[in-house]
Amino acid sequence: MGKYLGLDSSTQSLTGLIIDTRTGQLEAEVSIPFDAHFKAAYGIDKGVLHLGGGQVHSAPLMWAEALDLLLQTLRDQGHDLGQIEAIAGSGQQHGTVYLNETAAGALGQLRGTAPLRDQLAGIFSRATSPIWMDTSTTAQCQELEAGVGGRGALLELTGNTAFERFSGPQIRKFAQEDPAAYGRTAYIGLVSSYMASLLAGKLVAVDPGDGSGTNLMDIRSRQWSPRALAACAPDLDHKLLPITPADRPAGPLSPYFVSRYGFAPGCQVFPFSGDNPCSLIGLGLVEPGQVALSLGTSDTLFACMDQPRVSALGEGAVFASPDGTHYMALICFLNGSLAREAVRDRHHLDWPGFTAALRQTPPGNQGALMLPYFAPEIVPRVAEAGVVRHRLDANNPQAEVRAVIEAQALSSRIHSEWMGVAIRSLCVTGGASTNEEILKIFADVHGCPVYRFETANAAALGAALRAHHGHLKASGAPRPWKEIVAPFAKPLPGSTIQPNPAATAVYKTLIDEYRKLEQAHIG
Ligand code: ADP
Ligand code: XUL
């Protein structure tokens, strides 16, 4: 035994990762990309539905279908799921799932003879879920802040000013725009709690890590704030699933998965958390100090903190760490992989061509700069998409490729200053962290080494480690986090990228130029 499964339900894919804690090995790592399997059935593009006016949703029934497909794939690959002791997971943060009053019964009666899709299609009071890319809730952000006594009051209470992508503003918008469907909603959860509920065959609570991405949780008590709930939407205290400690078992796995995929009946399910909080664990950031960079659909830069240091500028977010004691500071850039892909596709390149362009161009790009707002941006706040080119030829593919990466790295440097953390190294994860040329630019701009790891799926790994930690604790033999993460969250030998001092010197002067360009365009 000693095996644990971590799941990551992200924007574009569902990943499953199995660790063997006796050998310290990753035993399996499988991803189900949503577009490859569900594009036609759900009408998605890169995992999401663009509904106009900044509304970006996805389909919770699709995530359930992906769960069946992932477990079937693991089984087909010969993995004995009967050896898994416990499962935990991670979900893209902030997205909200709306269930009607039949949901609890349907989850409790799942039969192994038919797929989840067929049994759960009727449980939603809203067929689609707004996700973190949704920028349509500016009015609701203002109303929520005003409702608790102002921006400063919400920041003090929840650790965060109101953000368009956070769950509270999403819920308020739904309650305002479709009060009938809101009235039919018996339960509101997050992507994380929804995925955990499928596995446990019952409604599973939200963990404090993901709860802190709602604008509704008291960051110090790690419970819903009655004041924030009242300011958000009617009757929300009855609809929103409760908050539970991340290491309290949610229950045994539903018999559905036991009969269909051969899991052991006693396999435990732990609450899921957000993808960034899980990545914090998966990269071994269980003590303050180190800083991490995730280059996924979004780019995020985050650090572990002792206390919830807040960002008064409203740029950074603060979440509770799923380790139960610490906090994390995070900055989220919406124009991460989507911007890199936009440049790649605009110039008809593939990843090798994109990477070659980075090799062929000099640090500093001969003064060419880009503000890469291919979509509205979270940090800095940019409401309308619009790419700005400064001394940059839009028809020069090489310069464009370098410009987008340098912009992302410079922006991550400028907008992390509020964290008050000296960035002495960066632990990297996410799909684009497999690209060494991209990482070199981040190392040079930050002037620090970049550490790489065996897996680029730190969120799924962090989830598996959470399952291990929780399972030991529940069995009466708890072990400190440091010992749990040590065998897995260690940089790959020989893979560290050191900054090039000459390039770092170039970027030192460019930082101010980039800052000025940004200020000139966004005020
Ligand atoms: P998420 O978990 O947010 O869905 P991932 O961390 O799985 O995203 O990252 C997926 C992204 O990784 C893809 O959208 C793609 O843009 C990017 N990616 C994959 N390979 C490369 C590469 N060689 N160079 C740059 N980006 C890459
Ligand atoms: C973080 C954020 C994104 C999502 C999707 O605040 O919005 O990083 O978690 O990965």
Tokens 């981040």 appear where?
442
Question: From CA 345, how far away is CA 142, in angstroms rounded?
Answer: 36
User: 411 CB less than 6 Å from ligand 2?
Assistant: no
Say if strands 3-9 and 84-91 run parallel, antiparallel, or are unpaired: parallel
What are the phi and psi torsion angles at 445 (to 5°)?
Answer: -65, -40
What are the phi and psi torsion angles at 454 (to 5°)?
Answer: -60, -40
User: 13 CB less than 6 Å from ligand 1?
Assistant: yes
The number of the ligand 1 atom at minimal distance from the alpha carbon of 457 is 6
Any residues with CB less than 8 A from the CB of 279 and at least 6 apart, and which? 90, 292, 294, 300, 302, 429, 458, 459, 462
- Check if the beta carbon of residue 129 is closer than 8 Å to that of residue 58: yes
The number of the ligand 2 atom at minimal distance from the alpha carbon of 133 is 7
User: 300 CB less than 6 Å from ligand 2?
Assistant: yes
What are the boundaries of each domain within the chain? 3-277, 284-454+493-523
- Check if the beta carbon of residue 32 is closer than 8 Å to that of residue 25: no
The SS3 of residue 67 is helix
User: 429 CB less than 6 Å from ligand 1?
Assistant: no
Do 3-277 and 284-454+493-523 come out as alike in CATH topology?
yes
User: 341 CB less than 6 Å from ligand 1?
Assistant: yes
Task: Output the pLDDT for position 113.
Answer: 96
Task: Output the pLDDT for position 308.
Answer: 86
Note down pLDDT in tens along the chain; length 523 residues.
799 999 999 999 999 999 999 999 999 999 999 999 999 999 999 999 999 999 999 999 999 999 999 999 999 999 999 999 999 999 999 999 999 999 999 999 999 999 999 999 999 999 999 999 999 999 999 999 999 999 999 999 999 999 999 999 999 999 999 999 999 999 999 999 999 999 999 999 999 999 999 999 999 999 999 999 999 999 999 999 999 999 999 999 999 999 999 999 999 999 999 999 999 999 999 999 889 999 999 999 999 999 888 777 788 999 999 999 999 999 999 999 999 999 999 999 999 999 999 999 999 999 999 999 999 999 999 999 999 999 999 999 999 999 999 999 999 999 998 888 889 999 999 999 999 999 999 999 999 999 999 999 999 999 999 999 999 999 999 999 999 999 999 999 999 999 999 999 999 999 999 999 999 998 7
Task: Output the pLDDT for position 312.
Answer: 75
Task: Output the pLDDT for position 461.
Answer: 98
Give nearest CA residue, ligand 1 atom 25. Answer: 432
Task: Output the pLDDT for position 107.
Answer: 98
In angstroms, what is the span from residue 480 Cα to ligand 2's centroid? 27
- Check if the beta carbon of residue 243 is closer than 8 Å to that of residue 167: no
User: 470 CB less than 6 Å from ligand 2?
Assistant: no
User: 11 CB less than 6 Å from ligand 2?
Assistant: yes
In angstroms, what is the span from residue 377 Cα to ligand 2's centroid? 13
Mutation to probe ligand 1, out of 12, 32, 294 (largest number of atoms < 8 A from CB): 12
Architecture category of domain 284-454+493-523 in CATH: 2-Layer Sandwich (3.30)
The number of the ligand 1 atom at minimal distance from the alpha carbon of 429 is 6
Give the global pTM.
0.97
Task: Output the pLDDT for position 144.
Answer: 98
What would the two tokens of residue 104 be?
């609890």
In angstroms, what is the span from residue 421 Cα to ligand 2's centroid? 21
Give nearest CA residue, ligand 1 atom 19. Answer: 431
Any residues with CB less than 8 A from the CB of 414 and at least 6 apart, and which? 511, 514, 515, 518
The number of the ligand 1 atom at minimal distance from the alpha carbon of 336 is 16
Question: From CA 182, how far away is CA 52, in angstroms rounded?
Answer: 21
Any residues with CB less than 8 A from the CB of 167 and at least 6 apart, and which? 94, 95, 96, 190, 213, 214, 215, 216
The number of the ligand 2 atom at minimal distance from the alpha carbon of 298 is 8
- The fold for domain 3-277 equals Nucleotidyltransferase; domain 5 (3.30.420)
Task: Indicate if the alpha-carbon torsion angle 496, 501, 503, 508 is positive or negative.
Answer: positive
Mutation to probe ligand 1, out of 337, 355, 440 (largest number of atoms < 8 A from CB): 337
Helices (H), 337-480: 337-346, 351-360, 397-414, 436-446, 458-474
Say whether the peptide bond before residue 60 is cis (omega within 30 degrees of 0).
Answer: no
- Check if the beta carbon of residue 290 is closer than 8 Å to that of residue 273: no
